[in-house]
A and B are shown apart, each in its own frame.
Chain A
């Protein structure tokens, strides 16, 4: 079942700005993952954060997780036109890699 809900649903920013999007979920999780989807490269895994972690970085990406609020945020710093895509959070409740994806967050980076 769909669990993650991203907020905001759509975001338009200028190149060089930061983009922040949030994800909320309903049940306890083992880990939460963020994926990017665009027409050129399909769905690509970006970063995973486990339930016992609070923050994680990967390049220009920063993910936070607040299990008490059942929410996560994804920050993309110094955005580029190539970051234009839909971003999905996906939760793994049982640690068995059965992911429940949210509806997605469309980000447009204007050059």
Chain B
């Protein structure tokens, strides 16, 4: 079974630029999550999708972050404009359904904002 795919794996941008990350969850997984993991900390949930609807985006900084999951499969997370403090690893995870216990994580995208 293929795992969660993410791209790119690394990205370096300058502050005020825009960046987008892509995630392809495990086939058949209805629930998709985006997390931000700052160096030395645990992942922090940014947004949770159930199919193509948003379940929870309470911790998403909506003035600069946006995410979508068109057709309920792939998802993109965008930052516009980026700030220095956005430097982190962005992890995508998926689970079979919103009440499923196990989340499967992708390898992450390491973002560096200069």
Determine the main DSSP class of A at the interface with B.
strand
B interface bracket (residues with beta carbon within 8 Å of A): 20 to 34
A90: which B residues are within 8 A, CB to CB?
42
* CB atoms of A98 and B91 under 8 A apart: no
B98: which A residues are within 8 A, CB to CB?
96-97
* CB atoms of B42 and A104 under 8 A apart: yes
> Which of B44, B55, B100 is the one whose CB lies under 8 Å from A101?
B44
Q: Which residues of A contact B (CB under 8 A)?
A: 1-2, 4, 31, 33, 42-45, 48, 88, 90, 95-104
* CB atoms of A103 and B40 under 8 A apart: yes
**A-facing residues in B14-64 (Cβ within 8 Å):** 31, 40-45, 48, 55-56, 59
* CB atoms of A44 and B44 under 8 A apart: no
Closest to A3 in B: B42
* CB atoms of A42 and B31 under 8 A apart: no
* CB atoms of B91 and A43 under 8 A apart: yes
B104: which A residues are within 8 A, CB to CB?
45
